[in-house]
Amino acid sequence: MKEKVQELAKLPTGIIGFDQIANGGIPMGRSTLLSGTAGSGKTVMALQFLLSGVRDYGENGVFVTFEEAPSDLMQNVRSFGWDLEGLVAAKKIAVVDATPDPGEETVMTGPYDLSALLARIENGIRSVGAKRVILDAIGALFPQLSDSNIVRRELHRIAAGLRALGVTTLVTMERTTEEGAVGRWGVEEFVADNVILLRNRLEQEKRRRTVEILKFRGATHHKGEYPFTIDSEDGVTIIPLSAIELKQRSSEIRISSGVSELDRMCSGGMYRDSIILVSGATGTGKTLMVAQYIKAAILAGERALLFGAEESREQLTRNAASWGVDFEKAERDGLLRIVCRYPEVMGLEDHLLQMKRDIMAFKPKRVAIDSMSAFERVSTPKSFREFVIALTSTIKHLEITGLFTNTTSMLAGGESITETHISTITDTIILLRYVELHGEMRRGLTVLKMRGTSHDKGIREYLIDNQGLHVHQPFRGVHGILTGSPTYVFDDERVRLTELFRREAQVSGGDPAAT
């Protein structure tokens, strides 16, 4: 029987989301190469690893800079609230300045020797008792070298020397393209124990950062790319989608949708910890359903959080007032918060981060997003699906109810909502459709699916007035409403015409009973 090999001990990084995709952190006592193009976040991620060691784990560190002056570095990270100067003064972090003097030209006059540099790094490690070391922009050490064998030898020498000192090392290095070789010389990935790639791609006129663990020697990790963002509050935040566990409670508690007849169609209401999708063309009443959903929360004394992506707070408040829902009073009473941000103002990862913060700060029982399809138009299908998965997992984990609206492009509703990448993730889908009947445009509603319970399968007509949305009887004699190709069967008219033709046939045949 094959003996199981014990995995290397891992060191928590303190970078939000990274330890999930790394199964606990980076291997302890090893060297890790962090490679990426300009603007991909290499220095920020490395510094966050160093500062987290000091603040969260009591592990001091050394930062070696080869390209950026220490004064500039400290100035740049102040926007994150990181007091690098204070930690240096407190002997928690040592900074080794290995940047070249201005105007200094490197000339090769003999064998390349890094003994002096290694001695300075070792002195910094011993001065603060460091456990973590950052070598930032190490590629600046070899500006004049064209021999990759020399680069490989010297990098190996640095890594071996630091490993002998018992520290965990993170090395940042620039790469020239998002794909292709890991580093400039094509040998860097073979020297380091671990390799992490950062990418900063341009997708649909927006930059999107991702992280990928290419290799972890002696340790397991999640495969593939994961989106991340950088902001002033948390620094680097990675969204570990495939590392999200499908764990949540399934509540039997039902809540009202705000429309009494719709609740009856759903066997008593919606499940508390479910995600509801309301899909329909413009003007079918999706925002009205959001207003009534929020009104039901207010009447129950529960907090509701509304994210507006297409209309301003003032527009949403005015529209709700026209249906008898007072958003302003609910806000004053602390039962409602309205957050409106256009999708174009930031990337989807930043929207997700801000939404999660809003949810955690307000602690609502219900969340509504009007509309989710607005975010779809500013993203790729892959990034949009990642956004939806991460958001729905957050909502379900907190055991709150989410309602998303989705706008279809066809008035008849023939477009498949599965194209929006939402339908398979949601628990309940409500379709709102236009129905042309007797030369008049009317509206129909149906519950397409509802997980965990039975529901009414009919297509009901509904009306909208200043009191809200009212669901009535099912349509009769109309087929193909959801496909956008309705056909009509009018029973009364068919009977009348049949009787008329029969009577005409009898008269023409001389039947006295027909006169």
Closest CA relative to residue 10, chosen from 157, 233, 213: 213
Would you say residue 248 lies in a domain? no
- Residue 382 sits in a domain whose CATH number is 3.40.50.300
Is 474 part of any domain? yes
Regarding whether 338 and 234 lie in a shared domain, the answer is no
- Is 415 among the domain residues? yes
Segments of 408-510 assigned E as strands: 428-437, 440-450, 460-465, 468-474, 478-479, 487-488
Last residue of a domain, one of 214, 242, 270: 242
Kindly state whether residues 153 and 228 are assigned to the same domain. Answer: yes
Q: Give residue 286's pLDDT.
A: 94
Angle of CA points 282, 286, 289, to nearest 5°: 160
Q: Is residue 5 included in any domain, yes or no?
A: no
- Domain containing 67 equals 10-242
**Model confidence pLDDT, tens digit, residues 396-439:** 888 899 999 998 866 555 554 444 567 778 889 999 988 877 77
What pLDDT, in 10s, does the model give residues 433-447? 888 777 778 888 999
Residue 265 resides in a domain: yes
Q: Point out the domain boundary residue: 198, 220, 242.
A: 242
Predicted pLDDT of residue 296: 95
Same-domain status, 367 and 414:
yes
| Confidence check: pLDDT of 110 > 50 | no
Name, in order, each residue with C-beta under 8 angstroms of 323's C-beta and a sequence gap of 6 or more: 288, 291, 292, 466, 467, 468
User: Structure pTM?
Assistant: 0.81
**Same domain as 49, residue 76:** yes
113 CB-contact burial (10 Å; exposed 0-12 / middle 13-18 / buried 19+):
exposed
Reading the block at residue 235, the tokens are 């620094």
Is residue 510 very low, low, confident or very high in pLDDT (cuts 50, 70, 90)? low
**What is the predicted pLDDT for the residue at 507?**
62
From residue 185, give the alpha-carbon distance in Å to each of 41, 151, 155: 21, 8, 11
Count of structural domains, the chain = 3
pLDDT at residue 512 tops 60: no
Strand pairing report for 440-450 and 428-437: antiparallel
Q: Is residue 508 part of a domain?
A: yes
On whether residue 169 sits in a domain, the answer given is yes
Most confident of 251-255, 314-318, 344-348: 314-318
CA distance 207 to 230: 12
- Within its chain, how far is the Cα of 136 from the centroid? 29
Measured distance CA(388)–CA(241) in Å, rounded? 10
pLDDT tens digits along 369-405? 998 989 988 888 888 888 888 898 889 888 899 999 9
Q: Is residue 497 part of a domain?
A: yes
Indicate if 263 and 198 belong to the same structural domain. no
Same domain, 350 and 443: yes
Residue 405 and residue 267 share a domain:
yes
Domain edge (last residue) among 208, 242, 276 = 242
Give me the residues paired with residue 276 across strands. Answer: 403, 428
Mean pLDDT across 139-158: 71
